[in-house]
Structure 1
Amino acid sequence: MQVPLTAEDRTILALEDAQLVGHTATVVHLPGGAPDLPQLRDAVARRLAAAPRLTWRLSGTSDEPTWRSDEVDVAAHVRAVDGVGPVDEAGVRAELARIFGEHLDRSRPLWRMDVLGPLTGGGALLVWRVHHALADGGTVMRLAEDVLWDPAPAAAGAGGRRSATAASGTSGAEHGRSSLSGVLTGELLPGLRRSPFHARVGRERDVALAVAPVAGLREAARRLAGATLNDAVLAVVAGALRRWLEHRHGPLHGLTVKVPVTLHHDGDDVGNRDSYFRVDLPVDEPDPVARLLAVRRETAERKARHDAQKLDELMDRMARLSPRLAGWSQRLQRSGRSFALNVSNVRGPERAVTVLGAPVGAVSPLAEVAQHHALRVAVLSAADRLGFGLVADPSVVEGLDVLAAAVEQATAELLHADRNGSADSSAG
């Protein structure tokens, strides 16, 4: 069986080069210990039939690439990290950066699982890389239900599994074919400011992780600003960037970020289906509630205008009318002046999940940087934990550990503001 790559898949595939990898990674924290490797391989092999996409490898020509179903050597795809003793926090970051920076073998299906452990604090990490041309974040989470997470208990019924989507996503069917003119200035044309992350990206990578509570942030966002969890995530990132900028760069009045929006529909079988809108983060605002309110105003405006859906419609029209014009617009959208960094937020399993009976702690995503965008922030929810994954070129972004710590500090500021606000309301 052969499946042609979609235009979106081909665009993603073409971004990979000697400096940049094309995959994302899902870092699964297993506090109970490293899974037994033969059992993990056996479990994945038995369940691959439910995830045929993971049997696809690249075929065809460079001009007409296709996916072709192939036999999977599970032992080559599911591996233990050899020669590593008990790994401390610094060692974990170094190993994650090394693993993430390795290109996937294009002669095989484009995914791999590496088990890293034991960790000095106990437990292990499972690092699952999947090429972005094969699957976006939402599709990876569906694949995790198929081959990685233990099946949900029967009592969970239909609620045990659901399709994962980007938290900021809305359906493209919500709007008609209204005017697209606002998309040109709102999402497509670049600005004039250079960001501190606008630089040529080299081969070296730094990685850092942070964790935040889902329920606490969701409730704080709702009570403080009538905002969503995704708004809270962007406000936390704004607060963290503000702290990092104060220490490493100097103050900025604003920073434009790209926010991916899923256009997946329940039951579709495409690997990539998304768009985006841009948001100006208030990185000069010291008050966490004011940051949240500012973010909510920005996202509400873009959702009300259906910017992401209109941009997708515009790009589709360009591709049909003039592939050359579509290529020019894609290059324009990737400009370092179009946005400073990409901040994605994908919903994972709402239930607590296990791998071969081992409870899963936080699940942290990693996504590659891009030329002229030397920092990338990815967020993924699993049960009641939000995992933040930061990837950067360390020659451009120094102190990534400072930024990761600032994510947790900015989270604590919002939760503290919510507790104080609730106490004030009770007292009144």
Structure 2
Amino acid sequence: MDQLSPLDAAFLEVEDADPHASLAIASVAVVEGPVPSHDEFLALMRSKLPVLPRARQKLVRAPLDLSTPAWQDDPSFDLTYHVRRTALPAPGGDAELCALVARIMGQRLDRDRPLWEYWVVEGLGDGRWAILAKVHHCMADGVSGTMLYDVMYGDAPPPEHAEDAPAASLLSLLGNVVRAPLDLVGGVLSLMWSLLPVRATSLYGHIGSPRLYRAVRALLPEVKEIAHAFDVTVNDVVLAAITQAYRALLVERGERPSPYSIRTMVPVSVRGDRRLDNQLSLRLAFLPVDAGTAVEALSLVHKRFTDAKRGHQAESGNALAQLARYEPFAPLAWSVRLGAMMPQRSIVTVTTNVPGPRKPLRVLGRRIVEILPYVPIAIRIRTGIAVLSYTDRLAIGITADRDSTADVDVLAEALGKAIIELLTASRRDVASMHQG
């Protein structure tokens, strides 16, 4: 049996510690019609099972957490349980689709079965339909989720098995520590410093189980245009827009946007192979919600995340995750579970940006029009934002705790306006340069 890595298992421990968390990631592929029959879609899924062994496996836990959970073939595997079908009420627009996503993602996956569901959603406007792919985070991260799209609907080769891509040896990991001790120690200290409590706001605290979901859209060429004009990255542009959105939410609630109000966790891919597991680390930094304009926020975001990269946070986090493979799992599991139960005041949101499929994909001959991402929330984090590119589109999915963030539309609308503001400013600056 293949065992989970400690990082994969940590998502299970966090979910166990937080009764209101459902730690599944998801994406919604909106597809041109006509909608296929249930048997037709089942046949497609069945044809992919031979190259996706995880789809037929369930988790088995070791007594007293003496080792990480392992994958084992499910003798009672039933594809029809995992492939489900539903329909939106009229008119089948964004509001109805987002409500469905929130309802499905607020429910936990059954631990006694393989940890995934695919939902075929009928009744979208313009004769379209959708596929909601829901996978537990212990199975995949955002990048491997994108890889699944290329396997399911493209011509990519199947994922690698664990034995085909072994983890780094303990000697090589220790060698990295010896070669760059100052970088790794500095990264660990930077991560620890970044876990100090933030200024109190209404953006973090206890959460319930129900979720809200909103989608914001942008054109990737326009976001790249902004990045080029200001000599920053696409991720900087997105984070600046997210910063302005949180600023608008704080102002709307009558709270002062402090420079130390919102620390975000940004997952960083450290993927070196094509396994369907989690291969990620993280960076932590404050979003400059005190900035009065999107352009000012962009400058500050670029500086802060450039400094975070130089601080080797991601490299140190990855080294710690790899070293955890060689430590007894029980103390790690108990530590993660205990830490998740504590009232943390360090991280206010998670913001993840994943490059999606570059080429247009088709499902049973129908073109996928767009892909909307979903990121889960837990441990007092009341909102999370996922960004996914697909061909020339950029989709931003906002997850919110329904009980505390009923005003999520303020966040979504301000995010879209911030991108427009940055695009207008970038073109104005370019025009001024040409005139000069």
TM, length-normalised to structure 1: 0.87
Identify the residue that residue 404 of structure 1 maps to in structure 2. Answer: 412
Per-residue deviation at 1:82?
5.6
In the TM superposition, residue 245 of structure 1 has moved relative to its aligned partner by: 1.7
Query: Structure 1, residues 136-173: CA drift from partner, whole Å, max 9, x if none?
Result: 111111122212x2437xxxxx9xx9xxxxxxxxxx99
Report what 1:198 is aligned to.
Answer: 204
In structure 2, give the amino acid aligned to 1:12.
F
**After the TM superposition, which of the residue ranges 101-110 and 329-338 deviates more from structure 2?**
329-338
In the TM superposition, 1:25-424 aligns within 5 A as 25-61=26-62, 63=65, 64=67, 65-70=69-74, 72-81=77-86, 84=89, 86-147=91-152, 149-151=153-155, 176-179=179-182, 180-189=184-193, 190-192=195-197, 193-224=199-230, 226-254=231-259, 255-265=262-272, 267-314=273-320, 316-317=322-323, 324=331, 328=335, 336-424=344-432
The CA deviation at 1:311 is 2.5
Shift of 1:194: 2.7
Q: Distance in 2 between matches of 1:346 and 1:55?
A: 26
1:21-70 deviation line (CA, Å, top 9, x unaligned) = 12111111224453433222111211222222222211243524210134
Q: Which amino acid aligns with 1:177?
A: A
Q: Which amino acid aligns with 2:263?
A: T
Distance 2:107 2:283 in 1: 30
| Distance of 1:362 and 1:83 partners within structure 2 | 18
The residue type equivalent to 1:188 in the other structure is: M
Aligned identity (percent) is: 29
8 Å CA contact 1:367, 1:376 repeated in 2: yes
Per the TM alignment, residue 87 of structure 1 is displaced from its structure 2 partner at its CA by: 2.7
Matched letter for residue 264 of structure 1? R
Matched residue count:
407
CA deviation after TM superposition for structure 1 residue 91, in Å: 2.3
Alignment check: 8 A CA contact 2:10 2:336 kept:
no
In structure 2, distance between residues paired with 1:186 and 1:7: 22
Cα 1:33–1:301 change in 2 (3 A) is farther
Query: Structure 1 CA distance, aligned partners of 2:238 and 2:176?
Result: 24
Q: Decide whether the 8 Å contact of 1:288 with 1:417 is kept in 2.
A: no
* One-letter code aligned to 1:367: V
Contact 1:56–1:109, Cα closer than 8 Å, also in 2: yes
Q: What's the secondary structure of 1:344's corresponding residue?
A: strand
Report the Cα distance in structure 2 between the residues aligned to 1:314 and 1:103, rounded to whole angstroms. Answer: 29
- CA distance in 2 between counterparts of 1:59 and 1:202 reads 28
Structure 1 window deviating more from structure 2 (115-124 vs 232-241): it is: 115-124
Change (3 A) 1:296 1:82: closer
Amino acid at match of 1:182: G
CA shift digits 1:74-102 (9 cap, x unpaired): 22222111685553433222211111112
Q: Which residue in 1 is equivalent to 2:23? A: 22
**Structure 1 stretch 285-294 or stretch 246-255: which is displaced more?**
246-255
Distance 1:83 1:259, change over 3 A: closer
* 8 Å CA contact 2:215, 2:397 repeated in 1: yes
Q: Distance in 2 between matches of 1:293 and 1:87?
A: 39
- The residue identity in structure 2 corresponding to 1:406 is A
Would you say the 8 A contact 1:240–1:410 is kept in 2? yes
Report the more deviating stretch, 409-418 or 9-18.
9-18
CA–CA distance in 2 between the matches of 1:270 and 1:32?
A: 30
> Aligned partners of 1:5, 1:415: CA distance in 2, in Å?
44
Counterpart position of 1:10 = 9
CA contact (8 A) 2:88 2:124 kept: no
| Equivalent pair of 1:256/1:281 in contact (CA under 8 Å) | yes
SS of residue in 1 equivalent to 2:181: coil
Q: Distance in 1 between matches of 2:211 and 2:56?
A: 29
Pairwise CA RMSD of aligned residues? 2.8
Query: Which residue identity is paired with 2:14?
Result: L
Query: SS state of the match for residue 361, structure 1?
Result: strand
Offset, 1:251:
2.6
| Counterpart among 427, 430, 434 of residue 426 in structure 1 | 434
| Cα distance, 1:242 vs structure 2 | 1.4
Whole-Å Cα distance in 1 between the matches of residues 85 and 355 of structure 2? Answer: 27
Q: Taking structure 2 as the reference length, what is the TM-score of the superposition?
A: 0.85
Contact 2:56/2:73 (<8 A) preserved: yes
Distance 1:229 1:16 in 2: 32
- Paired with 1:317 and 1:49, the residues of 2 have a C-alpha distance of 33
Please identify, of 321-330 and 295-304, the stretch whose mean Cα deviation from structure 2 is larger.
321-330
Q: Is the 8 A contact 2:13 2:333 kept in 1?
A: no
